[in-house]
Amino acid sequence: MSSTPATFDPVAFKSTTRAQWESAAPAWHRWGPAIENWLGAATEQMLDDVHCGPGSRVLDVAAGAGGQTLAAGHRVAPTGHVLATDISPAILAYAAEAAADDGLADVVGTMEADGEDLSGLAASTFDAAISRVGLIYFPDQQRALAEICRAVRSGGRISAVVYSTPDRNEFFSIPVGIIRRIAGLPAPGPGLPGPFSLGGPGVAEAAYRAAGLSDVTVTTVPSPVRLSSAAECVRFEQESFGALHQMLSGVDEGGRAAAWQEIEQALTQFEDAQGFVGPCEMLVVSGTRP
């Protein structure tokens, strides 16, 4: 969800990402019901894959506002524990509030942490680790996987939800393409973070195996974005996808308005009498820590 400068700077990327989520946190929380409707099936597959059940200790990396954290919390309650970590303290505050509202205050905890540095966690603490649409945005995905593996016990399971390829996710790839063209931005190079960085054939499996994980599986989950109209989808992306604004940061106000107008027009192709159905396909990538 971020542009790629000519020379990629992971420190600047993380700083920008943190600022984006600090800003987008209220909107991401507000759009929570739509997000869970969109990602619910992939979330359930991810939790099934890590054998999330009563008494499990689960690490949630790049947890965001915590929709999947709550789903895990309900599965592990009352004796298990879910720790939600994220680079943005503002969005974690919403996760903690939602957990309390759901009666999970004693089950769910939060911790501000970079997924590439989980040194604040003891080794082999968790039975499982999950990450929903988070691993794709780490500048060093192998470092993140190594840190996650260190925190999970031997035999524990690790699972992540990631986007597949751009052609299967046009609700997102179309806006990204339009913004890149208007802003004059290049596409991310191989190995750099971005929404589709793990979506290519065999890419996610290779990343897991390089991290030493075994029993690697990839499950395709159709995840259409169902909203009332293309205009509502644009509002969702404008308010919640902070990095799209970052991509437009070098464009003047008129150019930004033109970009969003073009995006809405392009997305109307996915409207029908029943509303808007944006094409989206998720992959649930899972493996076992030796």
Q: Is the dihedral of CA 65, 68, 74, 77 positive or negative?
A: negative
Could you tell me the CA-to-CA distances from 24 to 64, 201, 289 in Å, in that order?
10, 31, 33
Residue 199 has a pLDDT of: 97
Residue 188 has a pLDDT of: 79
User: Could you give the CA distance from residue 70 to residue 92 in angstroms, rounded to a whole number?
Assistant: 12
Residue labelled with tokens 């939790």 = 47
Residue 20 has a pLDDT of: 85
Nearest Cα residue to 135 out of 124, 123, 148:
148
User: Could you give the CA distance from residue 87 to residue 72 in angstroms, rounded to a whole number?
Assistant: 20
pLDDT digits (tens, 9 = 90+) for 160-183: 999 999 999 999 999 999 999 999
Give ∠ CA 78-34-36 in degrees, rounded to 5. Answer: 30
Residue 6 has a pLDDT of: 57
Residue 2 has a pLDDT of: 40
Residue 1 has a pLDDT of: 40
**Radius of gyration for the alpha carbons in the chain, expressed in angstroms and rounded:** 18
Domains of the chain: 10-288 (3.40.50.150)
DSSP 101-162: HTT-TTTEEEEE-BTTB-TTS-TT-EEEEEEES-GGG-SSHHHHHHHHHHHEEEEEEEEEEE
- What six digits make up the tokens of 204? 């996610």
To 10 degrees, the CA torsion angle through 61, 63, 69, 72? -30
Q: State pTM to two decimals.
A: 0.94
Is the separation of the CB atoms in 284 and 221 below 8 Å? Answer: yes
User: Could you give the CA distance from residue 125 to residue 158 in angstroms, rounded to a whole number?
Assistant: 13
Q: Which residues of the chain have pLDDT under 70?
A: 1-6
- Residue 219 is inside which H or E element, if any? strand 214-222
User: Could you give the CA distance from residue 275 to residue 277 in angstroms, rounded to a whole number?
Assistant: 7
